[in-house]
């Protein structure tokens, strides 16, 4: 098996934020014996994200993205993957309830802009974010599995460790049984 990593965010390209997610994922994937084919960093740009997804799909069985899932104007990943995977966004009431509850536990009122985070592509498997607001997603296309995760390192790590890692173990076991 092989993988590619795409880190998304203008802040990564400008150097104002260190790209710790790629390093973390590369180390974890190596531990599974997964060969890393490509690591890319792209800005918050639809065209660049789609080109990166397509490029990595040609090289890899697994593609991991981090970043661009938030609720601000520059967070374009959700809409971009919706287009790339020929999806429609669906509103999930259960997600918005969890986000509101997270804000309430912090003693804050949820800003209306966060309602966008409850819209998930209809053909995505939701990867729950238990410590933040942006849900992750899993897609399959042309025999490639895509994991789309938040860019906040703590959120990405908990999602990878608690959700993706068990899935990778299952995939690895199936491959071992085939050989």
Over pLDDT 70: what percentage of the chain?
A: 96
Which of 71-75, 94-98, 133-137 bottoms out in mean pLDDT, i.e. has the lowest? 71-75
Q: pLDDT over 90 for what percent of the chain?
A: 89
Closest CA to 151 of 37, 22, 40: 22
Could you report the per-residue pLDDT of 34-92, keeping only the tens digit for each? 999 999 999 999 999 999 999 999 999 999 999 999 988 889 999 999 999 999 999 99
Q: What is the predicted pLDDT for the residue at 173?
A: 65
Q: What is the CA radius of gyration of the chain?
A: 16
Task: Please tell me which residue, 66 or 170, carries the higher pLDDT value.
Answer: 66
Q: What distance in Å separates the CA atoms of residue 64 and residue 22, rounded to the nearest whole number?
A: 9
Name 70's Cβ contacts closer than 8 Å, sequence gap at least 6. Answer: 117, 133, 134, 150, 151
The mean pLDDT of 143-154, rounded to a whole number, is 97
pLDDT at 134: 96
For residues 145-164, average pLDDT: 98
Q: Find the mean pLDDT for residues 18-34.
A: 95
User: Is the per-residue pLDDT at 178 higher than 70?
Assistant: no
| pTM for the whole structure | 0.94
Q: Flag whether pLDDT at 177 surpasses 50.
A: no
pLDDT for 170 equals: 86
What would the DSSP string read from start to end of the chain?
Answer: -EEEEEEE-HHHHHTSS--HHHHHHHHHHHHTTPEEEEEEEE-S-HHHHHHHHHHHHHH-SEEEEES--SSSTT--HHHHHHHHTT--EEE-HHHHHHHHHHHHHTT-PPPGGGGGGGEEETTPEEE--SSSSPPEEEEEETTEEEEEE-SSHHHHHHHIIIIIHHHHHHHHHHHHHH-
User: What is the overall mean pLDDT for the chain?
Assistant: 94
């Amino acid at each position: 098996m092989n993988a590619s990593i795409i880190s998304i965010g203008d802040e990564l390209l400008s150097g104002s934020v260190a790209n710790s997610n790629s390093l973390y994922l590369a180390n974890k994937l190596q531990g599974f014996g997964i060969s890393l084919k490509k690591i890319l960093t792209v800005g918050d740009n639809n065209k660049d994200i789609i080109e990166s997804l397509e490029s990595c799909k040609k090289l890899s069985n697994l593609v991991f993205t981090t970043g661009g899932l938030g609720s601000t104007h520059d967070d374009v990943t959700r809409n971009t993957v919706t287009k790339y995977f020929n999806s429609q966004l669906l509103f999930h009431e259960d997600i918005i309830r969890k986000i509101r509850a997270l804000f309430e536990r912090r003693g804050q009122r949820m800003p209306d802009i966060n309602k966008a985070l409850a819209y998930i592509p209809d053909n995505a498997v939701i990867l729950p974010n238990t410590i933040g607001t942006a849900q992750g997603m899993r897609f399959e296309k042309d025999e490639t599995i895509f994991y789309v995760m938040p860019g906040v390192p703590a959120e990405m790590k908990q999602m990878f460790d608690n959700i993706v890692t068990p899935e990778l173990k299952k995939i690895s076991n199936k491959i071992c049984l085939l050989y």
